[in-house]
Amino acid sequence: MSEALISLRGVGKSFTRGSTSVTALRDIDLDVAQGQVYAVIGYSGAGKSTLVRLINGLEQPTSGAVLVEGKDLTSLSAKEIRQVRSRIGMVFQQFNLFGSRTVFANIAYPLQLAGWSKEQQQKRVAELLTFVGLTDKAWAYPEELSGGQKQRIGIARALATNPPILLADEATSALDPDTTQDVLRLLRRVNEELGVTIVVITHEMDVVRSLADHVAVLDDGRLVESGPVREILAQPKAATTRRFLDATLRTRPGDGELARLRETYDGVLVTVAVPDQHTIGGLLTDVVRDHDVSFEIVHGGYTTIKDESIGTFTIALQGDSTAVERAVEALSGAATVEVAA
């Protein structure tokens, strides 16, 4: 049995409509370990919703296997799939609250379905309302709440029966930037304080940056890149990932910016990603001291990822070609380095 809480093994999914077939996912391998916040990012049509429906057992893959807590969903009965689904809390973009029920009744609903007693329900709903900071809204109706408050209630309801996994499908896409940050902070607490493993589906790199520790990038049904967020942000390999980053992080020069820098500055353009705020100065000082080169910082800055920051600086490195090569080698020993072609 794999150690991952969720595993996709060579998963493909096609839909057939009449004589045409659409392939939504191709040969996806993905492992989400217990305790992780794993983001799946992709543009519209990349296959994100299909992936969610496969993980929560609403659809079966055309090929490959989906495992949740070691159970292969492709080999389970409908009843067994329902049991697996009860281990996954769902949070939706449009909140999906019952408008005719109070906040209390919305959160109590899954408890009622699971057969909890009235007293147990009351105790659990009170705990959840405290956790999401909305004890004063127990008797309000969803229409009386702001979008952010609705999503807090959506999260409380998803957590009601203590599922070990939370699947958040574009959970902040309907919210403004400030409210988005509040909800992302709440999701982090869900992960850190309650130990819930979270899979976040999003089209926003900012969500990945503030919340996730791992990320997979989907493009046209393919998983084009995956790994720790810090590594992918520091050195994205796939063109799709770079597009996402160029749109959100101003610290990495895009192709147009690199062309402009090349016209403006002499020397070799080198982009250096450093792991924290205290590294770049010392690193560049050492390189200039040890090698016969000079430099100018021409682009870059710091970006916050969860509570840490990484710096990405583009420098124009000047000197003879051997010295520049050695300097790049020295930088590569201490940081992630990309030399512009």
Ligand X SMILES: Nc1ncnc2c1ncn2[C@@H]1O[C@H](COP(=O)(O)OP(=O)(O)OP(=O)(O)O)[C@@H](O)[C@H]1O
Comparison of 22 and 259: residue with beta carbon closer to ligand X: 22
Comparison of 39 and 128: residue with beta carbon closer to ligand X: 39
* Contact string (CB under 6 A) for ligand X, positions 246-265, x = contact: --------------------
User: Under the criterion CB under 6 A, does residue 60 sit at the interface with ligand X?
Assistant: no
* Contact string (CB under 6 A) for ligand X, positions 202-241, x = contact: -x--------------------------------------
User: Under the criterion CB under 6 A, does residue 77 sit at the interface with ligand X?
Assistant: no
User: Under the criterion CB under 6 A, does residue 19 sit at the interface with ligand X?
Assistant: no
116 touches 94 (CB < 8 A)? no
Q: Where does 103-210 show beta strands of DSSP type E? A: 165-169, 197-202
84 touches 73 (CB < 8 A)? yes
Stretch touching ligand X by CB under 6 A, among 16-24, 64-72, 77-85, 255-263: 16-24
* Contact string (CB under 6 A) for ligand X, positions 170-209, x = contact: ---------------------------------x------
CB of 60 to ligand X, least distance (A): 12
Q: What gap in Å lies between CA 171 and CA 192, rounded to an integer?
A: 18
Comparison of 58 and 113: residue with beta carbon closer to ligand X: 58
Chain-centre distance for alpha carbon 233: 12
* Contact string (CB under 6 A) for ligand X, positions 27-46, x = contact: ---------------x-xxx
User: Under the criterion CB under 6 A, does residue 50 sit at the interface with ligand X?
Assistant: yes
User: Under the criterion CB under 6 A, does residue 24 sit at the interface with ligand X?
Assistant: yes
3-state secondary structure 253-317: CCHHHHHHHHHHCCCEEEEEEECCCCCHHHHHHHHHHHCCCEEEEEEEEEEEECCEEEEEEEEEE
CA dihedral 203, 205, 210, 216 (to 10 degrees): 80
Q: What gap in Å lies between CA 43 and CA 240, rounded to an integer?
A: 9
Comparison of 48 and 214: residue with beta carbon closer to ligand X: 48
User: Under the criterion CB under 6 A, does residue 47 sit at the interface with ligand X?
Assistant: yes
Q: What gap in Å lies between CA 6 and CA 214, rounded to an integer?
A: 13
Q: What angle do CA 37, 173, 213 make, to 5 degrees?
A: 15
In the list 15, 58, 80, 290, the residue contacting ligand X (rule: CB under 6 A) is 15
Instruction: Return all residues near 282 (Cβ < 8 A) that are at least 6 apart.
Output: none
Comparison of 40 and 232: residue with beta carbon closer to ligand X: 40
Instruction: Return all residues near 327 (Cβ < 8 A) that are at least 6 apart.
Output: 287, 291, 293, 317, 319
User: Under the criterion CB under 6 A, does residue 61 sit at the interface with ligand X?
Assistant: no
41 touches 214 (CB < 8 A)? no
Q: What would the two tokens of residue 184 be?
A: 């992302």
Residues that bind ligand X (CB under 6 A): 15, 17, 22, 24, 42, 44-50, 203
